[in-house]
Amino acid sequence: MAPAHLKVRGLRAGYGPFLVLRDVTFEVKPGLTVILGPNGAGKTTLLRALNGLIPRGGEVLLDGEELAEKTHEIVRNGVTLVPEGRQLFPQMTVMENLELGGWLVPKAERASRIERVFADFPKLRERITQLAGTMSGGEQQMVAVARAMVCAPRLLMLDEPSLGLAPRMVDELLAIARRIADAGTTVLMVEQNVKKALAVADRGYVLERGALVASGPAKLLARSTVIREAYLGAASSETTTAADAARREKAAA
Ligand SMILES: Nc1ncnc2c1ncn2[C@@H]1O[C@H](COP(=O)(O)OP(=O)(O)OP(=O)(O)O)[C@@H](O)[C@H]1O
């Protein structure tokens, strides 16, 4: 089956009368798309709305068909979310957590799905009897992603997979996201780790105060003024322009 393509038009979502997202239009093409933005911009709200955890308005089309509104139907449509903070069952083993990920999958098929997931996460196979709560943050995040993959999603949504992890684990988790996208599952990821996220993503969007303010291919976005100034600690636009002009002059001389 071809990788999923999500089109979102005029998305509205919030909490009771408090509207966080007002009119958000974007698309998630096959590959890896990242959503960046400051704290409180509405990134988690966006994923929660797409996953049916909060009501949404506007149009959400998955390969041209309106996405279901209830979470379990959305999972059946092929969309799975790995929430922020992983939300594993700490008193259960790795295997039990993976089995719970496949609660919608017929039992006979579940075992073969889990077997397939172990092929992608060989480190977890050695840990099947370990209690999830005793694992490191990075290992737990890996279990959370593996659990989502048991649902065999066509679109996988990751909410800040690198949150609180050591730099080496951040690299590993982002590499896993990349591998999943390359293997044919469309990935939509929210990340605070701007530089590393743009290095592995195909495309990106920047969300600020509930609205998209920039978008484009990840490589171009990484070089854009909006990203460099707000997120990568570059100098202000005036100095950047002046420095660029000086460099150009020097090169031309
Ligand atoms: N359950 C809730 N009830 C009411 N308001 C909420 C709730 N969850 C989030 N909000 C508010 O919605 C806005 C967007 O929050 P959201 O968590 O989507 O931002 P975010 O971009 O994911 O930020 P962060 O990076 O800090 O997770 C914030 O103003 C937040 O206070």
Task: Read off the pLDDT of residues 240-249 as tens digits, 9 standing for 90 and up.
Answer: 444 444 444 4
Structure tokens at 151: 């649902």
CB atoms within 10 A of CB 65: 9
Tell me how far the alpha carbon of residue 42 lies from the centroid of ligand 1, in angstroms.
6
d(CA 191, CA 62): 22
Query: What mean pLDDT, rounded, does the chain reach?
Result: 89
Residue 230 has a pLDDT of 76
Residue with tokens 């966006």: 46
* Pocket of ligand 1 contains residue 44 by CB under 6 Å: yes
pLDDT of residue 251: 52
- 248 or 98: which leads in pLDDT: 98
CB-neighbour burial class of residue 198 (10 A; exposed 0-12, middle 13-18, buried 19+): buried
pLDDT (0 to 100) of residue 246: 47
Position in ligand 1 atom list of the atom nearest CA 190 = 22
Ligand 1 mean position, distance from CA 41 (Å) = 7
Quote the CA–CA distance of 55 and 69 in Å, as a whole number: 8
Output the pLDDT for position 238. Answer: 39
Q: Which residue has the higher pLDDT, 86 or 114?
A: 114
What is the band of 82 on the pLDDT scale with cuts at 50, 70, 90? very high
The pLDDT tens digits of the residues spanning 21-60 come to 999 999 999 999 999 999 999 999 999 999 999 999 999 9
The response to whether residue 43 sits with its C-beta less than 6 Å from ligand 1 reads yes
What's the rounded Cα separation, in Å, for the pair 92 and 89? 6
**Contact by Cβ (8 Å): 176, 7:** no
**Does residue 47 contact residue 157 with C-beta atoms inside 8 Å?**
yes
Reported ipTM:
0.94
Q: How far is the CA of 51 from the centre of ligand 1 (A)?
A: 15
Residue 159 tokens read as: 């909410």
Q: What is the best residue among 43, 53, 192, 205 to mutate for testing ligand 1's pocket, by most ligand atoms within 8 Å of CB?
A: 43
**Whole-number pLDDT of residue 229:** 79
Tell me, using a 6 A CB cutoff, whether residue 45 lines ligand 1.
yes
Q: Whose CA is nearest to atom 28 of ligand 1?
A: 40
- Tell me the CATH class for 1-78+153-218: alpha beta
Nearest atom (ligand 1) to Cα of 48: 18
Enter the pTM of the model: 0.89
**Segments of the chain assigned to CATH 3.40.50.300:** 1-78+153-218
Residues 22, 36: Cα–Cα separation, whole Å: 17
**Does residue 234 surpass a pLDDT of 80?**
no
Beta strand 6-15 pairing with 57-62 = antiparallel
Residue type present at position 40: G
